[in-house]
Structure 1
Amino acid sequence: MMTGLIHNSSLFEIFTRTSLCLLYLFLIILFFRNRHKMSARGKGWSVLTIGLFTDWIGEVLDLVSVVSGSKNAFINTAKYVFFDAGAFLIVLGGIFWVRKLARTIDKLAFENVVDPLTRAYNRRFLAQHFEQLLPNRPGSNPSGQNSAIAIIDVDNFKSVNDRYGHVYGDSVLKKLVLALKANLRRDDYVIRYGGDEFVLICYNVGPDERQIILDRVNKALSSVALPRGERLTASVGLAFSPQDGTRFEDLVATADERMYSLKNYDRKNTAQQV
């Protein structure tokens, strides 16, 4: 009896429905096994899985009706209900997943320009964005006036690592970054240039305000206390745009040169600049 029904049905249609059922089943297994990897708490991926499973039930019902040649109204109604519900869930899950994917891409892009230890921006961020950021800040003119770059090199930081260990030294760097952010303005940038060296980008300040910048750096340094009561000090080199140039390389070179000119002087509790 069943053989006759199959012969009366389109073999191509049966093959197509069977293939779709197997494809849906494969995708359901794949999506289910990876649901926690592909979306926060598996929400988007799980909804997609449920949508695929619902569509799979519709395909199975459709295959049954094709193979049996049945015109059962209940089966026909049920399969379309499952198809519609599955399509809705797949679209909804796709929206959840795409939104999560976009957030993940943004997070990865952010992590790419952030120092993993201190959570300050890193050298890659400075190289990629300095030229765009400096001349185009609100309140600045196209030539980048009233902007400053400071290079900070913590004095004798190796002794902190040698005396208290690198784990403690890392915690000091974290505290220093937090202190710098707390003492600078909201629109200023703190960048870890490498090791115990940091770069600040300050907007809407000129050479007449260099002492204000140094005082803020000094206040941040003084707020980081070491176990034996020592205080951090640093050599600070400042360069101003456009007075010292407007190109990234020129400003960094000038600030770096001024910072290194201080390295042979004894600094106790104040940050200085030549």
Structure 2
Amino acid sequence: MIKRAIFAFILSGATIFFLSTVLINNFSCLYEKHLRYITALAGKNLYDTTQIYFNDLLIKQELKNIKSEISSSKAVYFRINAKNYFSSEEENYKQSFNLCKNITSEKIFYTTDGILVCYPIYEKFASQLITERKRVGIFALLFDENVLNDILFQWILQNIALFLIFLVFSGFLFFEMSIRIHKNFTILNKTIVFVENLLKEVEVLSNYKEKLRNYLKQVYFQEFKQVGVLIVELIDRVITLTENLRLQAIRDSLTGLYNRNYFNQFAEKVLGLIQRHKFPLSVAMIDIDDFKFINDNFGHQKGDEVLKTLGTIVLKSIRKSDLAVRFGGEEILLIFPNTDKRTASHVVDRIKKEFYKFDFGIGKSVTFSAGVANFPEDVKELQSLDELIKIADRRLYIAKRTGKNKIVIEG
């Protein structure tokens, strides 16, 4: 009986050691994949931002934002258009970043400075015969290796303590403990597989928290729960960073309307659809009446209040398929796909009446004038959205010259 008990304890100890070794290896691989995922996602979003608006100061600010959002990062590097950018004064890490110079695929290096993940940025160029990929830049993140080492060290210490406690228990408790340990490793392996698949599916992130927490609820050991919580927090930060970058690139901060950068992208897409399917398209150009008078006499803060209020009313009044753009200082461009001129003018008139009701405390109501144009009523063959915008702009100034506070759809 004693021999059987000793054999059972030795076997259980060997089993724990083997399973712990396997899990450490799996966790290290998962952590590497997670670092690759964060680097690739941040690099893609930063490159997309530069394609919309390229500016040295903006890039440097975005690198600083990425470094602050990803707490385990020590430094951020970005190379584009033969120029190097760093998140801050990273002179001590330049030698490490030089490892990324000649990479052609995603690489990870363990350096004296930390874990360096290099991500090459490619752009596709399509011709009639082939599609070519050309490297246009490099994005790299240098992570603090101590984060991984601390997690693994704490995990090893806790498992050693668990093993010693386990040896104290009597033989009849050994069987129950073995079953629990086996169940924990099974759940944790399922969790690792789930997270690995989640990191591959960048677009499917809607209910990952609920699924991951359901796995972690079944885990007995606190250290593994902490690893799961860390993964959830890191993914949350990446999603938040991605969304912030996207909104900064396409939205006007004051009015909440789309900006000119987004409009330029939208114009190409919608023009192609119109030319293929020939559906009607209406545009309206809105300009606030006497806006300079408001700024000069009541201050720019009052002018901002007027613009913000108009932006809010516009967003509440149009459909999801419509587009509202802050086109200039006090000019707003509305685009109504698959809409005739009369319907578009009714929507603009509804906005005008709602805007007229607001009291801005300047002794009178604020109004706006507008011009509306339509394809195919005003332009038979549409080659560019600029054609409709010019017509709408001309009618806007007719409205201004003939008394303001009106909508002109002819002329």
CA contact (8 A) 2:282 2:339 kept: yes
Deviation readout 1:169-189 (Å, 9 max, x if unpaired):
101111111122233334322
Secondary structure of 1:261's counterpart equals helix
RCO comparison, higher one (Cα < 8 Å, 6+): 1
Q: Report the aligned-residue RMSD.
A: 3.7
Matched, 1:265 2:402: yes
- The residue aligned with 1:226 is 360
Specify the SS of the correspondent of 1:239: strand
2:302 is the alignment partner of 1:168: yes
CA 122–179 in structure 1, closer or farther in 2 if over 3 Å, else same: same
Partners of 1:51 and 1:88 within 8 A in 2? no
Question: Judging changes above 3 Å, is the alpha-carbon distance between structure 1 residues 52 and 144 closer, same or farther for their aligned structure 2 residues?
Answer: farther
Q: Is the 8 A contact 2:285 2:334 kept in 1?
A: yes
Q: Which residue of 1 aligns with 2:171?
A: none
Q: How much does 1:124 deviate?
A: 1.2
Deviation at 1:143, TM superposition (A): 3.3
Contact 1:188/1:202, CA 8 A, preserved across alignment? yes
Q: Which amino acid in the other structure matches residue 149 of structure 1?
A: V
Pair 134,229 (structure 1): closer, same or farther in 2 beyond 3 Å: farther
Q: Is the 8 A contact 1:135 1:145 kept in 2?
A: no
Checking the alignment, whether the CA contact within 8 Å between 2:395 and 2:408 is kept in structure 1 is: no
TM-score between both structures, scaled by the size of structure 2: 0.44
Q: Is the 8 A contact 1:214 1:272 kept in 2?
A: no
From 115, 120, 128, give the equivalent of 2:252: 115
Alignment pair present for 1:153 and 2:287: yes
State the distance in 2 between where 1:153 and 1:206 align.
21
Is 2:210 aligned against 1:179?
no
Secondary structure of the corresponding residue to residue 236 of structure 1: strand
Fraction of identical pairs, as percent:
24
What is aligned with 2:150? 53
The aligned runs of 1:1-274 (5 Å cut-off) are 37-38=68-69, 52-57=149-154, 74=164, 89-90=226-227, 93-133=230-270, 136=273, 142-243=276-377, 244=379, 245=382, 247-267=384-404, 269-274=405-410
- 8 Å Cα contact 1:235/1:273 also seen in 2: no
Structure 1 CA distance for aligned equivalents of residues 408 and 149 of structure 2: 66
1:49 deviation in Å? Answer: 8.2
- Residue 14 of structure 1 corresponds to none
Cα distance in 2 between the residues matched to 1:187 and 1:229 = 37
SS in 2 for 1:121: coil
Structure 2 contact 271–384 (Cα < 8 Å) conserved? no
TM-score by length of 1: 0.63
Change (3 A) 1:240 1:98: same
Q: Which runs of 5+ in 2 are unaligned?
A: 1-66, 72-144, 168-180, 182-187, 189-220
Q: How many residues align?
A: 214
CA-CA distance at 1:109 after TM superposition: 1.0
CA deviation after TM superposition for structure 1 residue 228, in Å = 4.0
Say if 1:49 and 1:120 are closer, same or farther in 2 by CA, change over 3 A.
farther
